[in-house]
Amino acid sequence: MKLPTMAQLLSLLVTFTVVSVAIDAASEPVRDIRGKPVRAGLDYYILPVVRGRGGGLTMASAGNKTCPMSVVQDKFEVSPGFPLTFSPSDKSRIVGISTDQNVKFSAATICVQSTVWKLESFDETTKQWFVTTGGVEGNPGRETISNWFKIEKLGNDYKLVFCPTVCNFCKVICRDIGVFVQDGKRRLALSDVPLKVMFKRA
């Protein structure tokens, strides 16, 4: 039997290492403030890392619309906001970094729409893309492209991102999610300055 050469062994080792790193990166879980993996279907608060500008994420009427509700940062720093759940598009029980997620408030509103997040149509008045409720849960594809969000690492913290990959042939915007202040309300919108966030079990 012919033994593999040193070059072949090194090539195999490099290939194995690259594949292992790719698998590890793809499966890396998002962790809450206690260091535990964030689990799909459980309630969490999304809280700002930088304090002094507001509290956790919640819903409110904003702009000239009552419904659907906008996703906003609570004006009171001590408020954790409303609890939310995450539903990964791959049906995983653990919320992974860079995985498409539905984000849904575990709360009722006066609106008849769902509390699932979606990227609203471009607002010509403010020149912003706002995050609102009223999205569709599940059914990943072209029809639900505006309802999928990702969690990405930002140093030792996390950020929310809109860059859905549930449709292979769709052209999408890929931007971080930050805060746009309108009439005193801190609305979530696509931004060049991401909101640093952390996750706390509700």
Instruction: State the amino acid at position 11 in one-letter form.
Output: S
The overall average pLDDT reported for the chain is 88
Asked if pLDDT for residue 19 goes beyond 80, the answer is no
Rounded Cα distance between 196 and 47, Å, is 9
Please name the helix (run of DSSP H) or strand (run of DSSP E) that holds residue 12, with its range, or none: helix 6-27
Rounded Cα distance between 8 and 90, Å, is 36
Identify the band that residue 21 occupies on the pLDDT scale cut at 50, 70 and 90. very low
Rounded Cα distance between 76 and 78, Å, is 6
User: What is the CATH number for 91?
Assistant: 2.80.10.50
Asked if pLDDT for residue 63 goes beyond 90, the answer is no
Instruction: Count Cβ atoms below 10 Å from residue 188 Cβ, excluding itself.
Output: 25
Give me the residue label for tokens 């290939």. 15
Identify the band that residue 64 occupies on the pLDDT scale cut at 50, 70 and 90. confident
Quote the radius of gyration of the chain (alpha carbons, Å).
19
pTM score, two decimals?
0.85
Q: What is the pLDDT of residue 51?
A: 86
Q: What is the pLDDT of residue 23?
A: 38
Q: How many residues does the chain have?
A: 202
Q: What is the pLDDT of residue 163?
A: 97
Taking alpha carbons only, the member of 31, 114, 14, 103 closest to residue 69 is: 114
- Which residues are CB-contacts of 151 (< 8 A; sequence separation ≥ 6)? 30, 95, 97, 98, 99, 101, 158, 159, 160, 161
Number of domains the chain contains: 1
- The 10s digit of each residue's pLDDT in 69-112 is 999 999 999 999 999 999 999 999 999 999 999 999 999 888 98
Which of these ranges, 2-6, 41-45, 52-56, 193-197, has the smallest mean pLDDT?
Answer: 2-6
Q: What is the pLDDT of residue 27?
A: 65
Rounded Cα distance between 147 and 101, Å, is 8
Asked whether residue 155 is assigned to any structural domain, the reply reads yes
Asked whether residue 102 is assigned to any structural domain, the reply reads yes
Q: Which percentage of the chain shows pLDDT scores above 70?
A: 87
Domain coverage including residue 59:
6-201
Identify the band that residue 158 occupies on the pLDDT scale cut at 50, 70 and 90. very high
Rounded Cα distance between 35 and 82, Å, is 21
Q: Which residue has the higher pLDDT, 103 or 169?
A: 103
Rounded Cα distance between 151 and 2, Å, is 48
Asked whether residue 79 is assigned to any structural domain, the reply reads yes
Q: What are phi and psi of 27, to 5 degrees?
A: -100, 5
CA-CA-CA-CA torsion sign (31, 97, 87, 110): positive
Asked if pLDDT for residue 43 goes beyond 50, the answer is yes
Asked whether residue 1 is assigned to any structural domain, the reply reads no
